[in-house]
Structure 1
Amino acid sequence: MDEKAILHRYLRTRRDDLLGKLDGLSEYDIRRPLTPTGTSLLGLVKHVASVEIGYFGEVFGRPAGLELPWFADDAEPDADMWAAADETREQIIELHRLSAAHSDATIEQLPVDATGEVPWWPEERRHVTLHQILVHMCVETAHHLGHADILRELVDGTAGQRPGDPNLTPRTPDEWAAHRARLEAAAQEAAGSTATPNPA
């Protein structure tokens, strides 16, 4: 498998993993802000799908023909990072699907050394190759998937990429509670028992 194919496979896997973080959750739980800066699961999916369209579309002269009002000049800041009440789960999942299909077509049709220009990057580094953008989007998607991993665990305790994830130590809920209590005790001991336990 060549380098482009390897990077493309990683990108597709991380995309699917991110979208899977919505599975089985209510409308409220996929939308509710779970950090002080308002990060939500559906917002992460919307953001990653939106930026991927730009990186594999506009950058290589292949616009997707999708109007994303949250990127308009008069849009409010961070409008791509959360879902308004009238933006449905289905609409954002469809955006994710269209973004992936458009990006996949660009990746498949262009050679890995194809050149493009990122107009929103500083002049000295805006000239890029497909290889560079593939790496950038693998990192970007994995970065936000990490956010989504933590958010999903906060919502309902689900951890790992899928049931039986071999990267996650197999423990029962009681065993995880005991493990967490042990870590809390170690943290308090290291802090000289002056810390206030976090009830989360």
Structure 2
Amino acid sequence: MPTSPVSSPASSSERTLLETFLDGCRTALPATLDGLDEEQVRRRLVPSRTTLLGLLKHLTYVEAFWFQHAVTGASLRDLGVASTPDRSFVLRKDDSAASLRAAHAAVVEASRAAVAGRPFDEVVTGRGRPVSVRFVHLQVLKEYAQHTGHADILREQLLAG
């Protein structure tokens, strides 16, 4: 039986629960690259641009977009990420598992810093409309959950073939 990532979910605060589940996803997605070579993490197994490495790059964009762009107002250009979600899947020749893991880890740390001490009810701007810091956490958690599932399936296909 799976266990909860927190010792006592019933008595944990909303922030503790959301941050714990988000951190679990932040770890799970990069772990899908473990033990695979550069060719495998770049291999396209579906008609879209979706690859394991592309998913990591996309979630780095998602972190930067929501936790820094939406919360702090930093421009996407200044953050060094793609200008659109679709472009965030595009891999450059110099993108590697190591470089994108490092970029992801750096963005996660910046994300944590951006929301440290901010109340969940604080209103920020997300995609041109007001949203709460709580919404930002839930949106990013949703993205990780969806794409980590994709990554699990891609990894399974790579290891089977």
TM bin, normalised by shorter chain, reads: 0.7 to 0.9
Q: 2:125: which partner in 1? A: 117
Q: Which residue of 1 aligns with 2:104?
A: 96
The amino acid across from 2:93 in the alignment is A
- 1:71 partner letter: S
Deviations 1:144-172 (A, max 9, x none): 00100100000004xxxxxxxxxxxxxxx
Which of 116, 124, 131 is the aligned partner of 1:128? 131
Aligned counterpart, 1:191: none
Runs of 4+ deviating beyond 6 Å = none
Q: TM-score, normalised by structure 1?
A: 0.68
Q: Deviations over 1:160-191 (max 9, x none)?
A: xxxxxxxxxxxxxxxxxxxxxxxxxxxxxxxx
In the alignment, is the contact (CA less than 8 A) between 1:42 and 1:82 conserved in 2?
no
Alpha-carbon contact 2:25-2:141 (below 8 Å) kept: yes
What is the CA-CA distance between 1:89 and the residue it aligns to?
A: 2.1
- Take 1:60 and 1:38, find their aligned partners in 2: how far apart are those partners? 28
Give distance in 2, aligned partners of 1:142 and 1:154.
Answer: 19
Q: Residue 34 of structure 2: which of 23, 33, 47 is its match?
A: 23
Structure 2: gaps (5+ residues): 1-11
Kindly state the Cα deviation for residue 62 of structure 1 after the two structures are TM-superposed.
Answer: 5.3
TM-score (norm 2): 0.84
Match of residue 142, structure 2, among 139, 142, 165? 139
Could you tell me which residue of structure 1 aligns to residue 55 of structure 2?
Answer: 44
- The higher radius of gyration belongs to 1
- Verify the 8 A CA contact 2:71 2:115 in the aligned structure 1: no
Aligned residues between the structures: 148
1:163 is matched with which residue?
Answer: none
Higher relative contact order, structure no. (Cα contacts within 8 Å, ≥ 6 residues apart):
2
